[in-house]
């Protein structure tokens, strides 16, 4: 696995970690096979585990959620907006989850250029900063991530 690349998870992950707040695999869309959701990958140096941040094309929906949090708290570190293959996406730090390579199905490739999909460097830096902050606050007891990621993390570290 390469840090900063995008991957899809196997169905086994969702069987082994049946958390209702995980974004589930959707293999068929309008009758066509389609891997979803896709996850941006970073690694936690402390544990060696990989963390996966899903992204969504429902930008309008998540911009409204982002704005509500900004109004209420004056900040929002659980959602970020960036571009993937030229299209704006909502990165859902609030739905990120830990994994090992055992649960990686395949990598997301730009089929036109035949290269792995990656983020713009400036946005990637912002996304990582927010994700690491949210993970740190979660470990200190804040409930910022919907799935029970600390329980998952402990299982993966066994």
Contact (Cβ atoms closer than 8 angstroms) between residue 8 and residue 108:
yes
pTM to 2 decimal places: 0.92
What residue ranges do the domains of the chain occupy?
A: 6-157
Contact (Cβ atoms closer than 8 angstroms) between residue 123 and residue 40:
no
| pLDDT by residue, tens only, the chain of 158 residues | 899 999 999 989 999 999 999 887 665 445 544 566 899 999 999 999 999 999 999 999 999 999 999 999 999 999 999 999 999 999 999 999 999 999 999 999 998 999 999 998 999 999 999 999 999 999 999 999 999 999 999 999 99
Q: Which CATH code, of 3.30.450.20, 3.10.129.130, 3.40.228.10, 3.40.250.10, is assigned to 6-157?
A: 3.10.129.130
């Amino acid at each position: 696995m390469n840090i900063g690349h995008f991957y899809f998870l196997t169905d086994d992950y969702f069987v082994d970690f049946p958390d209702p707040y995980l974004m589930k695999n959707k293999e068929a869309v309008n009758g066509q096979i389609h891997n979803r959701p896709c996850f941006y990958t970073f690694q936690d140096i402390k544990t060696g585990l990989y963390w996966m941040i899903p992204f969504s094309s429902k930008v309008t929906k998540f911009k409204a959620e982002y704005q509500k949090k900004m109004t209420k708290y004056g900040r929002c570190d659980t959602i970020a907006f960036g571009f993937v293959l030229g299209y704006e996406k909502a990165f859902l730090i609030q739905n990120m989850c830990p994994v090992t390579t055992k649960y990686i199905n395949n990598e997301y490739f730009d089929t036109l250029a035949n290269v792995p999909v990656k983020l713009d460097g400036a946005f990637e830096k912002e996304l990582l900063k927010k994700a690491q902050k949210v993970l740190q606050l979660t470990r200190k007891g804040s409930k910022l991530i919907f799935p029970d990621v600390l329980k998952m993390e402990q299982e993966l570290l066994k």
